[in-house]
Structure 1
């Protein structure tokens, strides 16, 4: 009997009504331009859709569903401390649109490396970072719903060395043009409730300082240099919750650079938003950003 992961955040973080959800997703995707595709990897936010759905639409608009047959989803662990990465123990991820099947062959291949733990069902259903990508994936791929599989990976608090290890392990999959990587990450979590109140007063209002800080990080990610990204995080401590999945992506790209048949990898951020504008030290906000990686 197949083990099924429920859409545990449906009805709260996003609509549990399939028709309503499909219409919302269609709206966000239609409002975004196809300007940097076909994507080989995307970075997409994972907050409630009322906050980040429009921003996420820009990342998902870059996907070519005709090409994609395998989708890796790397999301940070918010509730469980993990020294490494974990694979789902289930066979099916449910969404209000239709069920998504986990690629059991790839799951076995990754397990056999000895570097992946098993994520139990409770941990899986409590975590939102992977789930918030699933309805967008289902919508974009709905014309090919029987032709693709997913590989969800929960990413723990990795050292730079561990990010490099997982980057090397995943690089061969990224080399396949039929494989897409979805990196789940919000950007700066600012405010006393997040215990992060960095403020560069030369930027003007607090929300401008936050935007400047995020833009600095986004510019560094666009250089595809994992070391520079690690140094940026050390210097500023920006609370980018998906920093480790992003680090793994940058390391996978670094491992792949000599194996792209002369093609150049180009990552570009397409949209940026904040949940609210912070103007005083009692305010708080979360930032969202969408990016796409292409081979040129």
Structure 2
């Protein structure tokens, strides 16, 4: 059916090389993996004892969706991207985005509209849903390169390993990525605007909202600690195979929650409205990460359905393109109150005040801490007279 995310099959090779077997890659996926000796990186060209230090072979993930979801030749693909991406559009730095992953003829215009507006940084973390069910449930391909008709895209191996080490859920795995299009279809768009881009590919299986949120927070913490400039991309489609009017109504309800980064509301609408969006897991994790990194809003850039391409309005797939935006720098007093509440709710512990108190947290003063949801006051507590030796401890005590 047009605009869908179909499973594809591959014929198993006659023999499985030992290097492939050690990664537990199913036989049906072997044809998509090769091992190559990459060119030495600049830092590795330094001679040691008159010799260039040897490098291990790099794993190369061959295209799986080329020729089906997007053009299989470099020239045809570039011509398609010429039409989908506006290099002259005003751009902005963004911590996260949502883009669809159907065939370019169906959803490429939506992805192109978003990519046209974003200043893509050197590394992009791409999260997509599992369509095959193969591999680890929360899978990170932590090494190697991805091949497309436009060239190879390296994995940011250092950041990938940090993400795995910093999460209770993410695991190194290759099998989940081989016969999966969710990450691959985004790569030509990224290569077109940033040829030197590196990625961290992540595939997420079906899980509870709390798991997706924790993965998102783990990603945000690792990205923040790394000091790298990173874009977090959620790859996924919206409603599947419902009448056009119904799909639009449901999808725009979901987008409303995305625009305020309200993950609780998105989870409620996803469940109560029976929204068949494969983007749910990736976008929940993306929103949680963006919010943790200081994001405040989401902007709908483009929405379409497969019916816009085919003319068939009876059973469509929806495609939303959203840019998640960072707000102004959070006030240190508000940030401390928020961190206090979030840490106690999630971990059941009281945080310590900053080791080096900023000027606004020194001295003594009465403090009130309030919680608002969607602009409405939900709780407030405080002291008129100071009870603690400094404002930081006063905030923590009241929060």
TM over 0.5: yes
Change (3 A) 1:31 1:43: same
Confirm or deny that 1:183 pairs with 2:234: yes
Cα distance in structure 1, aligned partners of 2:223 and 2:266: 20
* Cα shift at 1:75: 0.5
* Cα shift at 1:30: 2.1
Alignment TM-score, normalising by the size of structure 1:
0.83
3-state SS of 1:138 partner: helix
Q: 1:5-24 maps to which residues of 2 (within 5 A)?
A: 5-24=61-80
* Cα shift at 1:50: 1.0
* Cα shift at 1:173: 4.5
Which of 53, 58, 63 is residue 113 of structure 2 equivalent to?
A: 58
3-state SS of 2:85 partner: helix
Change (3 A) 1:21 1:180: same
Contact 1:103 1:150 in 2 (8 A): yes
Alignment TM-score, normalising by the size of structure 2:
0.62
| 1:24-73 alpha-carbon deviations (Å, 9 max, x no partner) | 11211129954x722221111100111111111111112214xx121100
Contact 2:143 2:156 in 1 (8 A): no
Cα distance in structure 2, aligned partners of 1:86 and 1:50: 28
Aligned to 1:208: 245
* Cα shift at 1:210: 1.8
Confirm or deny that 1:79 pairs with 2:132: yes
Aligned to 1:200: none
Cα distance in structure 2, aligned partners of 1:88 and 1:106: 11
Q: Any stretches of 5+ residues in structure 2 without a counterpart?
A: 1-56, 328-399
Change (3 A) 1:171 1:275: same
Could you say which structure has the larger radius of gyration? 2
Cα distance in structure 1, aligned partners of 2:253 and 2:238: 12
Q: How many residues align?
A: 265
Aligned to 1:275: 306
Aligned to 1:25: 81
Cα distance in structure 2, aligned partners of 1:90 and 1:83: 16
Query: Which deviates the most, 53-62 or 166-175?
Result: 166-175
Q: 1:1-296 maps to which residues of 2 (within 5 A)?
A: 1-30=57-86, 33-34=89-90, 37-65=92-120, 68-80=121-133, 84-88=137-141, 90-113=143-166, 114-121=168-175, 123-142=176-195, 145=196, 148-175=197-224, 178-191=229-242, 206-256=243-293, 260=294, 265-276=296-307, 283-296=314-327
Cα distance in structure 2, aligned partners of 1:104 and 1:90: 5
Superposed CA RMSD: 2.2
Q: Any stretches of 5+ residues in structure 1 without a counterpart?
A: 192-205
* Cα shift at 1:213: 1.2
* Cα shift at 1:289: 1.1
Contact 2:128 2:236 in 1 (8 A): yes
3-state SS of 1:294 partner: strand
Contact 2:96 2:290 in 1 (8 A): no
Change (3 A) 1:82 1:254: farther
Q: Answer 1 or 2: higher relative contact order, Cα 8 Å, separation at least 6.
A: 1
Contact 1:82 1:155 in 2 (8 A): no
Contact 2:114 2:322 in 1 (8 A): yes
